[in-house]
Homo-oligomer: A and B are copies of this chain.
Amino acid sequence: MRLDRSLIAGVSSFAGIEGEDLDFILASAQSSRVPKGAEVFGQGAEAHRFFLLLAGHIRVVRTTPDGEQVIARYINEGELFGIAVQMGRDTYPASAVAAVDCVVLSWPNSAWPELQARVPAFGANTYRTIGTRLQETQTRVVEMATQQVEQRIASAILRLANQAGRKTENGIEIDFPITRQEIAEMTGTTLHTVSRVLSAWEQDGTVRNARQKVIVTDPHALMLLSENRRRK
């Protein structure tokens, strides 16, 4: 299969990389379609490849030994994922599940050193990617440690709206289906509580709810909610 430069021309991981270097990068890449609900890779599986999301949205899920699921993050278009091996692991620490039909590019791990060597900007970009994720994850720890459930949900919805929001006439809509259960798994609460909170917000006119859908009509109100601290 031939892959065209235009595929990754606008991808931030490859920002500043040009012409022949792009071709070089694509030479060892393989693209594939992942239908909604399917796994790109499973937690604990041996990590042979690393991935780039070209189109769609991917959910990264960690499952605890007793079967509880926690959503570690959502991968947006243009992001690298499954780069566990580069970080010193030989298995994937979480599962990656397509939230909608997706298109991914992937490389064997063996391509990593070449890419690094051939394309210096790639290395720096990747540092930034991992660094950003570390920041975000630490921010989540802080949120979990200090915020009430309602503010955590507000923060999570805001983050989704920022990263995967689509402007509609009614407000900002998260552009992939998401269940109450999944919001609960992002915020460390239960689907019941999420449902209650979202219903209350709908009363206040802050959001509009539908099946597997959340539309933020008043982002500012959500901001205020997420900033209201406990232990006042």
Q: Report A's interface with B, CB cutoff 8 A.
A: 62, 64-66, 68, 70, 72, 84, 86-89, 93-94, 116, 123, 127-128, 130-135, 137-138, 140-142, 144-146, 185, 187-188, 227, 229, 231
Contact = CB atoms under 8 A, between A and B. Distances in A.
B141 A134 contact: no
8 contacts: A64-B146, A64-B229, A72-B138, A87-B135, A88-B127, A93-B135, A137-B138, A144-B188
A200 to B, nearest CB: 22
Given A127-B88, A132-B87, A62 B137 contact: no
Q: How many copies does the complex hold?
A: 2
Contacts of A227: 65
**Interface secondary structure of A, over-half rule:** helix
A123 B130 CA distance: 14
A117 B194 CA distance: 49
Contact of A70 (B128, B134, B145, B187): B145
B145 A188 contact: yes
B146 A70 contact: yes
A137 B141 contact: yes
B144 A144 contact: yes
A42 to B, nearest CB: 16
A86 to B, nearest CB: 6
Given A130-B130, A131-B130, A134-B137, A142 B64 contact: yes
B141 A140 contact: yes
A84 B89 CA distance: 22
A70 B130 contact: no
